Chain A
Amino acid sequence: MKSSKRARQAGTLSPGSDPVVDAAREFIETRDPGEAGVGLAGGAKPFRRDRRMAEASADAIMARVRQTSGRNRAPGSRIAMMAIAAVLVAALSSIATIGIIRSSATVEVRFVLSAPEASSVMLAADFNQWTPDGYALKRSPDGHWEITVPLQKGKSYAYNFVIDGERWIVDPSTASRLDDGFGGSSSTISL
């Protein structure tokens, strides 16, 4: 099949061939299921991970997760979130706002953003796995963008608006923010 594979199996490489390009070509041509798709029969592995850094990362993740978990359980924070939700509903007349239409088990939430210069606005949130595709806001003639999403009552959600496919912003009408873990913030809403 592949010249690179033949050369590797023979234990020699063609004179003048680039062993790195050979390895890269072989990596793409063969996928080793035993390595979960990564790595070559000969043992070459791109993107090798430093085990000490991996361990430190796992510890850091768990430390942050415990913090988050502790915050979620604190009764004080729940009260604060309810107060923020009340502020959200009261902010209906501001530039960017969220309208809430109540139904039985779900709540129809209208996300609205004023962004007259934007070419597109999407909604990325935990309820869509931060995948804004399919959550494009529609533009009204006055430069407002909006989308209505059915969400479950009694839950809290985090979200960002994505302007022109690349700029993630918080909802400027809401004060409730959450560290998004990326040096930025997400807006939150409790229903």
Chain B
Amino acid sequence: METENQDAFVAQRVIAGDTEAFRVLVDRYSDQLFRFCRARLGDDADAEDAVQDVFVRAFRSLRSYDTSRSWASWLFAIAANRVKSRYAMRASAQALAERTAREATVVDEALEAQYDPERLAIDVLLGEELRAAVASLAPSYRAPVELYYFAGLDVAGVAAALSVGEEAVKSRLFRARKEILAWFDKKEQPTGSRRGRH
């Protein structure tokens, strides 16, 4: 709540003409927005482009933001719609082709960025695994999952961003979680008796 008040205060300053104050909102939410876009688009560069575009769009529309409501939810409402309509089809085709190349460069990236190569490899593959699982969901489940798990919004924030009730969000998250876990189980089954999960 405190953060929401601060966001609204910053937004009011920007609306009043203090353009540089917008950087506060960019720094506060760009990582969350990146994860959301990256989950949907499947490519780092596309996700960075989308982050920029959504923030610029938000800035241009800022006068229509109701400062009594959550700025984060307002931002992600814009993101959910823009990413869905503009990038989804292009990105899904590209992502498949680029995955092999990305995996091949994991070790190089790790050395350059001084990350533990094994951890980075798992992170990259983990992202792809989650993306694939979430992509298997029905559209009405997909957006709540991406906002909740990848953007890190809470249930109220997801509800506000998608203009649905909190109960509907909880119900969709609950069902989506079941479907995703079943998807993982199914994926492991064909390789035989790796592990029992029942």
| Residues of A bordering B, CB below 8 Å | 3, 14, 16-21, 23-25, 27-29, 31, 35-38, 43-50, 53-54, 56-58, 60-62, 64-66, 68-69, 124, 126-127, 129-134, 155, 157-158, 162, 166, 168, 178, 180-182, 184
10 more CB-based (< 8 A) A-B contacts, given A47-B38, A50-B113, A61-B22: A21-B187, A23-B126, A29-B177, A36-B152, A46-B150, A47-B47, A48-B120, A56-B48, A68-B56, A180-B57
Q: 15 A-B residue contacts at CB 8 Å?
A: A16-B191, A16-B195, A20-B126, A20-B129, A38-B32, A45-B123, A48-B120, A57-B48, A58-B30, A62-B20, A64-B52, A126-B61, A127-B64, A130-B82, A131-B81
Docked CA distance A109–B143 (Å) = 31
Are B181 and A18 interface neighbours, CB within 8 A?
A: no
Are A36 and B32 interface neighbours, CB within 8 A?
A: yes
Are B184 and A24 interface neighbours, CB within 8 A?
A: yes
Secondary structure call for the B interface: helix
Give the distance to chain B from A15, nearest Cβ to Cβ, in Å: 9
Are A50 and B44 interface neighbours, CB within 8 A?
A: yes
Which 5 pairs across A and B sit closest by C-beta, in order of nearness? Answer: A37-B152, A46-B127, A36-B152, A126-B61, A24-B129
Give the distance to chain B from A64, nearest Cβ to Cβ, in Å: 5
Q: Which residues of B contact A158 (CB under 8 A)?
A: 60-61
Q: Quick one: which of A28, A54, A64 contacts B180, CB cutoff 8 A?
A: A28
Are A66 and B19 interface neighbours, CB within 8 A?
A: yes
Are A130 and B195 interface neighbours, CB within 8 A?
A: no
Give the distance to chain A from B157, nearest Cβ to Cβ, in Å: 10
Q: Which residues of B contact A56 (CB under 8 A)?
A: 48
Give the distance to chain A from B95, nearest Cβ to Cβ, in Å: 13
Are A155 and B63 interface neighbours, CB within 8 A?
A: yes
B74 at the interface (CB under 8 A from A): yes
Indicate with 1 or 0, residue by residue over B141-173, a CB within 8 angstroms of chain A CB atoms: 000000011111110000000010000000000
Give the distance to chain A from B11, nearest Cβ to Cβ, in Å: 13
B39 at the interface (CB under 8 A from A): yes
Q: Quick one: which of A3, A24, A178 contacts B195, CB cutoff 8 A?
A: A3
Give the distance to chain A from B171, nearest Cβ to Cβ, in Å: 16
Docked CA distance A58–B20 (Å) = 12
Indicate with 1 or 0, residue by residue over B178-190, a CB within 8 angstroms of chain A CB atoms: 0011001001100
Are A27 and B119 interface neighbours, CB within 8 A?
A: no
Q: Quick one: which of B59, B77, B133, B187 contacts A65, CB cutoff 8 A?
A: B59
